[in-house]
Amino acid sequence: MNLDLLAIAAHPDDVELTCGGTLLKMAQRGYQTGILDLTAGEMGTRGTVEIRAAEAARAAKLLRVKWRGVLGVPDSDVTASRQHKLRLADKIRELRPKTVILPYWEARHPDHYNASTLGYEACFLAGLKQLPIAGEPYRPFKILYSTAFADVRPTFVVDISSQYEQRRKAILSYQSQFRPRKNENKAKVYLGLEQLEEEMNRLARQAGHHIGVKYGEPFLMKELAKVDDVVKMEVRSI
């Protein structure tokens, strides 16, 4: 398989919350997209592995991804260990993504920021010929970092105004995580449904505001971008 775009994150629902609109937009443009959840989310307070897998499958269908899988790293143990890096490098060689989206390298949850380091190092190792795994050496061309929940200035923002409602439906596929069960105290849900909708609306509007559109998803890349035509660059300066 040769994916054009692969989003890697720690838990089911992480990708939907941070870059789901971008994945959908790229799929609508004909690109082959994929999601790799490092864990099955088995340490979550709410829901089961089976329930979350069904929710993830529903969300993937809404985002029109070509492929979705779980690497099998234990939830709450996402680290850049040799074992995890080799397993992820093997998957990178199998999927051969041109572009990879990773979480930003600073976050509240250790699994999230460790997923960033693990993802980068595995992408690098996948290109080493002598690495003791199967497949031909391969490295993605571009690595992007989603900054949706990070207090940093992004490099660029993707306009997801047309994809926002479908992304919203994909996020709300995770009912076990965001909707309190019958007779359950809402305080037990870390990010309840009402708060979730308010937050994702605020963040998407904030990102969109930077580029003059209704909704956006922000990204950061470490390298400089190449521009060939400075006359046709988008986003007004004044």
Mean pLDDT of the region 162-184: 84
CB 167 within 8 A of CB 24: yes
pLDDT (tens digit per residue) in 18-32: 999 999 999 999 999
Domains of the chain, earliest start first: 5-220 (3.40.50.10320)
CA 181, distance to chain mean position in Å, is 27
pLDDT(185) > 70 = no
For residue 184, the model assigns a pLDDT of 53
Q: Provide, rounded to the nearest whole percent, the portion of the chain with pLDDT above 70.
A: 93
Q: Provide, rounded to the nearest whole percent, the portion of the chain with pLDDT above 90.
A: 85
The DSSP secondary-structure symbol of 181 reads: P
| Phi, psi of 190, deg, nearest 5 | -55, -45
d(CA 204, CA 18): 10
Structure tokens at 205: 């509007």
pTM: 0.93
The DSSP secondary-structure symbol of 73 reads: P
For residue 176, the model assigns a pLDDT of 85
Q: What is the mean pLDDT of the chain?
A: 93
The more confident residue out of 181 and 120 is 120
From the list 62, 74, 63, 3, the residue with the least C-alpha distance to 37 is 74
For residue 189, the model assigns a pLDDT of 46
From the list 117, 39, 135, 128, the residue with the least C-alpha distance to 79 is 117
d(CA 165, CA 154): 23
pLDDT (tens digit per residue) in 111-168: 999 999 999 999 999 999 999 999 999 999 999 999 999 999 999 999 999 999 999 9
